[in-house]
Amino acid sequence: MSTKTKSASGVEKVFQLLKDHQVKVVDLKFTDLLGQWQHFSVTTSEFSEEIFEDGIGFDGSSIRGFQKIHESDMLLFPDPNSAFLDPFTAVPTLSLTCDIADPITHESYTRDPRHVAKKAEAYLKTTGIADTAYFGPEPEFFILDNVRFDQSHHFGYYYLDSEEGFWNSGANGSRNLGHKPRLKEGYFPASPIDSLQDIRTDMVLTLESVGIPVEVHHHEVATAGQTEIDMRRDTLTKMADNYLVYKYITKNVAKKHGKTVTFMPKPIFGDNGSGMHVHQSLWKGGKPLFAGNGYAGLSEIAMYYIGGLLKHAPALCAFTNPTTNSYKRLVPGFEAPVNLAYSQRNRSASVRIPMYSNNPKSKRIEFRCPDPTCNPYIGFAALLMAGLDGIINKIDPGKPLDKDIYDMSPEQLRDVPSTPGSLSEALKALEKDHEFLLRGDVFTEDLIETWIEYKITKEVQPMQLRPHPYEFMLYYDA
């Protein structure tokens, strides 16, 4: 697939923005394999229309999960429709998200996560099932006041703090006004317990200033500043684009306020972790396909889509829950949705059917396993491919589980499958179950193999080699 599909009107709008806002710098952003933004900048005097046609070079061997040193040259092609004025730079700066291509053939790079998302949307259309997939993630994160961490041969520690942390109720040494959210009691209390209203509002208004609509923001369950800001749903690739902007803005607004943001799924022991429930729906010809007369008002297509998600969930977790820390949130017996079942309204099931509205346009399913460390391009694409596999193969999701799963006995849960217990298990599941991802050349064997190898050698094995502080509590006097 060639990257040369830039509309003239889009390019013209970019140069009009440069002129209207007296932009001095153009920032070119792209995403590494793991889902983190990378960037470099050029002055407007060096930025020309030819870049949209010919691309601009960079070293792919220095980017995680990309090229080896002997094949390092790569090209970026800016997407003119991604332009926004950076709200944080001192000098007027225009941001452009880029696609990645081979410098010889100009063909799209198969390990470019954005390319994977685009291919997933293209494959959806070829199936004839639908022409549009909408995604609505609900990322949670912590707004902290201080964080320190280090690891060496003879020590390892982390320390984080928040003025809101319940452990600061007895702090002495600076003025203490109380009003700390207790463990698991941070959901929806008004100020002064919720001390982050103004910061969240600043994040929301900044998001809206760059064209990302926001539906709601609020304090989340955990103490120490857990937060949720929900964007309005959008198409797969556009939503993934928006999520990278979302991370950039929330982190930089926090920095402006002298605070720091983490999207780690489980930074605090003993309290709720941060998930990213992902709402999904399919549409065709402007009509919703998930509304019907079946269970919870769902259509047959929606039920098969759920079947695909549940069948492939262990493999999906390798992308949607891609860190070793992810599985400190996905632990049986707590509030995280580890049980692979579906239900209406019930938040203890891994697939929930929201029942807020009877409007067919609102009918959707919510996959509750993912967390905010997910690379959205790859994660959303994998979810769509699993759902489509369910529809194509008419995978029956079984009976709903309309009970509080956390009140069920081990005997009652014996036949309910669960998510993997570790990143290593999830990667093994992906290794065994990924044929559904290869349809339409959306994912390639090379990308999947690279992902598995990187995660094992750079994350799983290094964690296995290092002693944990709590092991000293358990075993030092053995």
Q: Which residues are catalytic?
A: 59, 138, 140, 220, 228, 277, 347, 366, 368
Tokens of 408: 């069920």
End-to-end CA distance of the chain: 60
Amino acid in position 347: R
Tokens of 350: 């891994």
d(CA 21, CA 369) in angstroms, rounded, equals 42
> Which residue carries 């709601």 as its tokens?
216
Q: List the beta strands (DSSP E) in 314-396.
A: 342-344, 351-353, 365-367
CA 418 to chain centre: 21
Cα distances from 370 to residues 45, 89, 274, 320, in angstroms, run 43, 32, 9, 5
Q: Which residues contact 248 (CB under 8 A, 6 or more apart)?
A: 37
Residue 125 near residue 388 (C-beta atoms within 8 A)? no
What's the sign of the alpha-carbon dihedral 7, 8, 11, 16? negative
Pick the closest to residue 30 from 9, 12, 53, 55 (CA basis). Answer: 55
Is 349 strand, coil or helix? coil
Q: Name beta bridge partners: 461.
A: none
d(CA 93, CA 82) in angstroms, rounded, equals 14
d(CA 277, CA 383) in angstroms, rounded, equals 12
Amino acid in position 271: D
Cα distances from 192 to residues 164, 188, 318, 435, in angstroms, run 10, 12, 39, 52
